Amino acid sequence: MKTMSRWEFMRRLEELLADLSPSEREEALMYYDSYISDSGKENEAAVLEALGTPEKVAATIKEGLDGGGGEFTEAGFRSNAESGGGNQVMSYHSAAGSGQGTEQTAQNNPNPGKRQRSSGEIAIIIILVILASPLLIGLGGGLLGVLLGIAGAIFGVAVAFVAVFLALLLGGFSLVIAGFIALFGSPLVGLSLLSAGLLTTGFGAIFLAIIVLVCGKLIPFLWNGICDLFRKITSRKKGAKND
């Protein structure tokens, strides 16, 4: 930023001090006018730069006026007013955080750096969430796909089991029927066909038991697990967006 002329500086300072009592304003203006004069003509530009912006000077003056109570405390009003620039010492620790932006607004708000930073942080969080949302959706979608795949596989296995059961049952029954019919012609063949049919039907019954077990216990268990997982994912995503 280019330094303003002495005249501009004083005029701006006068504007900024308009809400002070006339005597206070005169006092301050006279002090700074003398200050610049006493620095010498050749140092004028340097001293104007060293003083900082009129906004900062005005803020310092005002903080001094209403900072009454704590005159002899360690953390005086000065450290609040001076937190904008680089060459002050009173605010050695607090100057690091709040950068140049403080100077322009310091006059109205004694501690604007904090507010700006927190709203900035909020904006960053929102941006991060927006930027991350494809990733979140992608991750969620991927997980959903995997779960659907697992469910499909289970369904396929279940269908296969049912088919095997039906085949065994039908095969067993037809063998038993064939055995009965053959019993009249050749008892040996009929008996062996009958026993094979009963054996097959028995295997079918075992498969039925397995199917019932899978359907009754394993599938509900898996289904609940999937539902829980899905609920967790969606609720976490919502939480992240609300933050």
Partner 1 sequence: MVFNTGAALLDAIVLAVVSREPQGTYGYKITQEVRTAIELSESTLYPVLRRLQKDECLDVYDMEFAGRNRRYYQVTEKGRRQLNLYEGEWRNYSAKITNIFEGGKME
- The residue among 91 and 200 lying less far from partner 1, judged by its C-beta, is 91
Contact 87, 49 (CB under 8 A): no
- The residue among 27 and 183 lying less far from partner 1, judged by its C-beta, is 27
* Residue 167 structure tokens: 């085949």
- The residue among 85 and 99 lying less far from partner 1, judged by its C-beta, is 85
Q: At what angle do helices 22-38 and 6-16 cross, to 10 degrees?
A: 160
Site residues for partner 1 per CB under 8 A: 27-28, 30-32, 34-35, 37-39, 47, 50-52, 56-57, 60-61, 63-65, 67, 70-79, 81-82, 85, 87-90, 92-93
Smallest gap from Cβ 114 to partner 1, in A, equals 19
- Least Cα distance to 176 among 165, 186, 190 occurs for 190
* Residue 192 structure tokens: 């062996």
- The residue among 87 and 242 lying less far from partner 1, judged by its C-beta, is 87
Smallest gap from Cβ 231 to partner 1, in A, equals 54
Smallest gap from Cβ 228 to partner 1, in A, equals 56
Contact 176, 201 (CB under 8 A): yes
* Residue 97 structure tokens: 């955080």
Number of H helices, E strands in the chain: 9, 0
Smallest gap from Cβ 115 to partner 1, in A, equals 23
